[in-house]
Structure 1
C-alpha cells in the first residue's frame, strides 16, 4: 500500500459524516477497510424509532442496487448456460422485438434501453406501495413494444435487465438466493438474504425511514424486488464480501476483474458502467463502486482494487448521500483532490428543439429527465456529471448547452417566454394497459377517489409539458410529450416510452 495513505484522515472524514446522524434518529454505519482488516467503523443513530436500539455495523439493511454486482457474479458463474452475447429472447421467448433483441450483457451494463419497471408503473399511475408479483410483471414487460433508446446507443440506468436475466436463470433452475447462500454467505461465514418481496420476513432487518418534512415515516414498497436490488445484510457482511472480491482467492479468483471489464457501446465507445459496477475517478486515479437506494435505505461502496482498500456506507434513512461520504473518505485517504462543482451555467430549464429531453440547472445540480446529478468542472469550459450510470458532459455555446447526455449527442436551448397549454390537449387519454388520465383546465387529472391527483402542466413549447407527481417518499417530474393529435407519451429518465391515446 502507498506510504501516503492516511487512514486517520479517512476515519476523521467518515466520522464527521456519521455525526450528522442524530442519536435519536435513523442512522447508519461507515466502514473503512483493506486486506489487513477493518481500519475503522463509525456508526450513529438508531436502528428503529420504536426500540431506539443503536445502529451498528452489524445492523441489517436493504442493500438495494448494491445487489447488482452479486447477481452479475452469479451470471458469470453460469456462462455455460447463459452468455453475455445471448439475446434476451433466446432465454425468454415471450419477449418481442426490440426488447427480445437486447443482449444479456446490454441488459446488465445499462446500455440496453430497457424501460425501468418501477418507473413504468409510476407512469401508469401505480404507487410505490402497490403490490406486484414477478409473473404478472414479466407478462407486462412481454407486452412492451418500445425501448427507451436503441440498444447499445446510450447508457441510462434501469433495473429491468436484471429482472429479465434473473427470470431466465430461474427457468433453468438457478435461484439468486441459492447462489448467495451457497457461493457467498456460506463460504464467507456471513449472513445475507435475498427476499423476493418487501414483506418477506428477514432476520434482524431494521426498518427504513424517510422524512415527510414534518416527521419520520416508515418506508415500504410493493414492487417485487428482483435481483436488481433484493439483497439484505450488514455493513460488516458487505465488507467481508468486498475484501474477498479484491483478494481474489479460491472461487473468487479473477472475479472482480471480470465484473469490471470495460463494456462498449455499439459504435465502439467505452462505457464507465460494467457488470453491476461503475467507475469513479479522483485526480488521475480510477476506483470502482456502486450505490443502492430503496425507500428508506441508502447503501454505497467504493473500492481501490490496486491497494485493496475501500469504504462501505449503509443507512436506514432516505437522505443519506453515500457517494459523497465514500468519495470524500477516499480523497482523505489518498490525498487526491475532490472534483470542483461546476459554476457559471445559468440556472433554468433547457430543452431540445424536438423530443422530450429536458434538463434543469440549479447551481451545480443538473436534473435531466427528473434524475439529479451534480456537475463538475471538466476543463476547457466543459462540465461533467462524472457518473458512469448517468453520464453527462456539456458546455455553454451562446445560450445553449451542447454535448452529451447518456453518451447521446444533445443540444439544449433555454425555455424562453411563456407557453400555454392548448385547449386541444384536453380530454381523456388511455394506455393499452388500461390506465387513464384526463387533461382538464391545463392540468393532468389521474387516479380515483381519495387518490385522485390534479397536477398542473407547465408548457415548455413544441408539445412538451411538465407535471409533478407525488408518491410517498418520491416526487417525480414527468414530461408529457405530444406525439400527434391523438397520441402522447409520458417520460421519466428510466422509462421514456409509455404511450397514451386519446379516448373517443
Structure 2
C-alpha cells in the first residue's frame, strides 16, 4: 500500500472539471473514495433543464456499460449453469455458425467478433429512436451467419455478447435485475435498478442531454437495453458497490480479481480487457475500470486495488469524458505521470490495401473504422491508444502506418485521389428488407421525411465512405465492394451487414 496519496490534489482536479458545468447546463458528479468512505465529492451543473435542481452525488443516472462487470459477477456466481468455456450454441441452440461457436468468455471479453446489434440496426437504416424488443432482436441474431472477425483473433467492443449471455441465463429463470436487488442493492442498502427498456420508470432518474447546434436536447433510445448497459443508480450507490467489490463484501470475495484477470486470445497473446473491466496505465502501474455511454449519459470509474482507492464519474450530458477525469484524478492522487499525447503522425485518411479497414489521423486523435481514440507516445516512434478495449499501436514506415489495430496486424497507406465509379449506382437490398439507392455519387437511405442523402467519398479499390446522422450520433460508414453485385456496410462494431444489387 502506498502512503503518499494526495487527496487534495485529486480533489482540485475534479473541481476543475466540474466547474466547467454551468448552473444552466446538465452536469455530473465526481467522487474520490477509499475503503473507509468518501474522500471528496464534487458536483456541477443541474439534474434537469426543467427544474434546474443542482446535480448531486445522489442524482440517479444510467450507468450504461459500467453495468457490464456487475453482470459478469452474476455469470460467475452461476457456474453450475453456465461456464466461460461453453459455446453460446449450448445455451441458445438457434444461433447459427459461426456465432454459435463463440464461447461465453469470448462473448464477454470483446474477443468474440459478435456484431453489435445497435450498429447493425443503424446499417439497416433504423434510427437510435426505433423501439425494439428482446425477442425479435434475438431472432435477428439467430439469422446472422457472419462475425466481425474470427472469434479470439482480435479485440473490438460489442454489446451483443452480453445480450446473448443474459438471454441464456433468463432461460434458466435468472433475471439480472433480481440479482442486482437480492445480491447488491438490498444487502448494501443502496438503490439500483436494471430496466429492460428506456421507457421503464426508474425512481429518481434524471434526464440525459446531448448538444445539437440549436442547444441541449433531451436524450432517448429505442433499443432494448440488455445487461450490457441497463443499470441505473447514483454516484454514491456506484461508489458503495465498488467499495464492496474492493473489500470482497457480501459474498464477493475474490470476484474483482476474477473479473479483472487478463484474457487469452486464440494465439496465446493476453488481452487487458477482462470480464466487463479494462486495465489502464499510469507510469509503471495499472488501474482497473470501465466506462459507460448512453445517449445523454456518461459514466466512468477507476480503481487502485492495491491501495483500495478509486474515482467514480457520472453525468447526464453527452460530452463528458469520464476516462479523462478519472485518470487525471488518479494521476494527481498518486503523483504518477500522465501519458504524453503523440501528434507527429501525418494527418489524413489511410486505408489498408484491401478490406474495409480505414483510419484517420488528426493531431493526436486516431479514428479507426469511425471509433476515436487518443494516441500516446509509446517510445521508439510508436503511438499507442493505451486502451484495452480498442488497442491500437502504430508507427510511420516509408509513408505508411504499420502496427496493430485491435491486436490484428495492419498496414495503412494514405488515401489518394479517387472517383466514385458509375458502376456503383443502383438499388441495393439486404435480406432483412432494408435498401438504399446510389446515384451520381450520393447514397440515399430511408423513406419519406426520414430519408437521408449522403455524399460518398472514394477510398480506392472498392472502398467508400459516407456520413450517417442519427440523433446525437454521427457515423462514418464504409462501403466495401465484395463483388460487382454484392457489398457490405462496415462500422466499428458491425462489419458484416451485406447488401446485393437489386436493380
Fold match, TM over 0.5?
yes
1:463 matched residue in structure 2: 462
2:301 matched residue in structure 1: 301
1:19 matched residue in structure 2: 19
Q: 8 Å contact 2:290–2:301 — kept in the other structure?
A: yes
Q: CA deviation at 1:391?
A: 0.2
Instruction: State the alpha-carbon separation in 2 of the partners of residues 213 and 79 from structure 1.
Output: 49
Instruction: State the alpha-carbon separation in 1 of the partners of residues 496 and 429 from structure 2.
Output: 14
Superposition TM-score, scaled by structure 2 size = 1.00
2:466 aligned with 1:444: no
2:491 matched residue in structure 1: 492
Tell me the secondary structure at the aligned position of residue 192 of structure 2.
coil
Instruction: State the alpha-carbon separation in 2 of the partners of residues 9 and 160 from structure 1.
Output: 40
- Deviation per residue, 1:27-84 (Å, 9 max, x gap): 0000000011100000111000001111000000000000000000000000000000
Tell me the secondary structure at the aligned position of residue 395 of structure 1.
strand
The residue correspondences of 1:217-296 to structure 2 (distance < 5 A) are 217-296=217-296
Instruction: State the alpha-carbon separation in 1 of the partners of residues 261 and 411 from structure 2.
Output: 31
- Deviation per residue, 1:116-157 (Å, 9 max, x gap): 000000000000000000000000000000000000000000
Return structure 1 stretches of 4+ with deviation > 2 angstroms: none
Instruction: State the alpha-carbon separation in 1 of the partners of residues 41 and 478 from structure 2.
Output: 43
Q: 8 Å contact 2:391–2:406 — kept in the other structure?
A: yes
2:14 aligned with 1:28: no
1:396 matched residue in structure 2: 396
2:341 matched residue in structure 1: 341
Tell me the secondary structure at the aligned position of residue 290 of structure 1.
strand
Tell me the secondary structure at the aligned position of residue 197 of structure 1.
coil
Instruction: State the alpha-carbon separation in 2 of the partners of residues 311 and 172 from structure 1.
Output: 36
Tell me the secondary structure at the aligned position of residue 361 of structure 1.
strand
Instruction: State the alpha-carbon separation in 2 of the partners of residues 278 and 53 from structure 1.
Output: 34
1:354 matched residue in structure 2: 354
1:67 matched residue in structure 2: 67
Q: CA deviation at 1:425?
A: 0.7
Instruction: State the alpha-carbon separation in 1 of the partners of residues 424 and 44 from structure 2.
Output: 52
Instruction: State the alpha-carbon separation in 2 of the partners of residues 372 and 168 from structure 1.
Output: 32
2:424 matched residue in structure 1: 425
Instruction: State the alpha-carbon separation in 2 of the partners of residues 214 and 340 from structure 1.
Output: 35
Instruction: State the alpha-carbon separation in 2 of the partners of residues 250 and 500 from structure 1.
Output: 51
Instruction: State the alpha-carbon separation in 2 of the partners of residues 151 and 471 from structure 1.
Output: 29
Tell me the secondary structure at the aligned position of residue 100 of structure 1.
helix
- Deviation per residue, 1:250-273 (Å, 9 max, x gap): 401111011111101000000010
The residue correspondences of 1:53-452 to structure 2 (distance < 5 A) are 53-416=53-416, 418-452=417-451
Instruction: State the alpha-carbon separation in 2 of the partners of residues 249 and 127 from structure 1.
Output: 42
Superposition TM-score, scaled by structure 1 size = 0.99
Instruction: State the alpha-carbon separation in 2 of the partners of residues 88 and 450 from structure 1.
Output: 40
Instruction: State the alpha-carbon separation in 2 of the partners of residues 249 and 317 from structure 1.
Output: 32
Q: CA deviation at 1:275?
A: 0.2
Tell me the secondary structure at the aligned position of residue 432 of structure 2.
coil
Q: CA deviation at 1:214?
A: 2.2
Instruction: State the alpha-carbon separation in 2 of the partners of residues 298 and 13 from structure 1.
Output: 18
- Deviation per residue, 1:210-260 (Å, 9 max, x gap): 000221000000000000000000000000000000011340111101111
Instruction: State the alpha-carbon separation in 2 of the partners of residues 299 and 344 from structure 1.
Output: 31
Q: CA deviation at 1:344?
A: 1.0
Instruction: State the alpha-carbon separation in 2 of the partners of residues 445 and 453 from structure 1.
Output: 5
1:38 matched residue in structure 2: 38
- Deviation per residue, 1:312-346 (Å, 9 max, x gap): 00000000000000000000000000000002101
2:35 aligned with 1:3: no
Structure 2 alignment gaps of length 5 or more? none
- Deviation per residue, 1:324-374 (Å, 9 max, x gap): 000000000000000000021010000000000000000000000000000
Structure 1 alignment gaps of length 5 or more? none
Q: CA deviation at 1:20?
A: 0.7
After the TM superposition, which of the residue ranges 243-252 and 473-482 deviates more from structure 2?
243-252
Tell me the secondary structure at the aligned position of residue 432 of structure 1.
coil
Q: CA deviation at 1:283?
A: 0.1
Tell me the secondary structure at the aligned position of residue 252 of structure 1.
coil
Aligned length: 503
After the TM superposition, which of the residue ranges 473-482 and 1-10 deviates more from structure 2?
1-10
